[in-house]
Structure 1
Amino acid sequence: MTDRILVFYGSYRSDRMGIRLAHFVVEGLRGRGCDVELVDAKAVGLPMLDRMYKEYPKGQAPAALEGLAGKIRDADGFVFITGEYNWGIQPGLKNLTDHFLEEWFWRPAAIASYSAGRLSGAHAATAWHGTLSEMGMVVISSTIAVGPIAQALSADGKPQGDGGRSLEHAFPRFANDLSWWIEAAKMQRARKAPPY
């Protein structure tokens, strides 16, 4: 059975560089036979969090929230593409994730970070690890970190230069780790209902 994976990207900037990494990850996972969808927070356009999806009466959530809740519930795993803003996480991606909670539970998540500099978004990746764990996901240990992103990936997400070669080398382990946890979670959910 094909793994259904959602790849989340959250920059709202006009000259978005991280979309290159999002396209690379989507294409890489598709190349492995996964059913992958890119969820771009800017395109979804959720308002700043006022009311979580679960706080709306049944059937009264805005259409964008309802549709995304269904996609999250139906997914087998997630990848979060995160840039680093002032040693922290992007507000657009955080805002999107905070609209949901139980929808995330009992599935694995992977983190791919990037930055314009040499630290490759490491601070954001560290911050996301704790956040995603708190939101009920199992965060895999393999990560991808790209920087400087403009030198490692072309505008259409193709690897280039030394950084691109490093990314191509790291991707199989990242994808294999995510696949292993997806399979483990599927088997466990089929064997035994989650405890809550």
Structure 2
Amino acid sequence: MPEKILVLYGSYRSDRMGIRLADFLVSQLAQRGADVELIDAKAVALPMLDRMYKEFAPGTAPPAMEALATKIKAADAFIFVTGEYNWGMQPGLKNLTDHFLEEWFWRPAAIASYSAGRFAGARSGVAWHGTLSEMGMVVISSTLSVGQIGQALDPAGAPTGSGGEALQKAFPRFADDLAWWSEAAKAQRATKPPPY
């Protein structure tokens, strides 16, 4: 059975560039045989956090939240595609993530960061690492960081120039690392229930 991977992306900007990285990841993972789906926070359109999914009585959560909870619970692994806003994380992706908690538990997460500048969103990746760990995910050590994203990926998510070449070179290790942890976590969940 192919591994189920959710690629989560959270920019709400009209001229968003990070969608190129999200599309690249979906395409590359699909080519490796993964069952991969893009979760676009802007398209899901959850409200600003008021009540978490678990705070609704069963069957009463808003339909978009219920559908996303089902997908999260069924996933084997997650990739968070994050831009950097003022040295921090994007509020759209953080808001979507915070609607859930136990649904994320005991699966690996990977971070792919980007920016228009040369730091490649690395500071947002650092911020996400602690957040995802706190939310019950194992964050893999491999990361992808794409600087000058408008030059590294074209509008269709195809690599271009030296930045795109570096991304293509780094992707296999990143994907292999995530697959290793995904397989390990799935095997462990099958033999021993999580401790909480």
TM-score, length of structure 2 as denominator length: 1.00
Aligned AA (2:194): P
Aligned to 1:122: 122
Identity %: 73
Aligned AA (1:60): T
Aligned to 1:100: 100
Aligned to 2:68: 68
**Residue by residue, what CA displacement relative to the aligned partner does 1:111-168 show, whole Å, maximum 9, x if unpaired?**
0000000000000000000000000000000000001000100011000000000000
- Alignment partners' CA distance in 2, 1:44 and 1:186: 27
**Aligned runs of 1:37-56 on 2, under 5 Å?**
37-56=37-56
- Alignment partners' CA distance in 1, 2:89 and 2:37: 22
1:6 has 2:6 as partner? yes
Aligned to 2:109: 109
**Aligned runs of 1:153-172 on 2, under 5 Å?**
153-172=153-172
Where does structure 1 lack aligned partners over 5 or more consecutive residues?
Answer: none
Aligned AA (1:78): F
**Aligned runs of 1:185-196 on 2, under 5 Å?**
185-196=185-196
TM-score, length of structure 1 as denominator length: 1.00
Aligned to 1:17: 17
Note the C-alpha offset of 1:58.
1.1
Where does structure 2 lack aligned partners over 5 or more consecutive residues?
Answer: none
Aligned CA RMSD, in angstroms, stands at 0.4
For the residue of structure 1 that corresponds to 2:118, the secondary structure is: coil
Q: Which 4+ runs in 1 deviate beyond 2 A?
A: none
Note the C-alpha offset of 1:191.
1.0
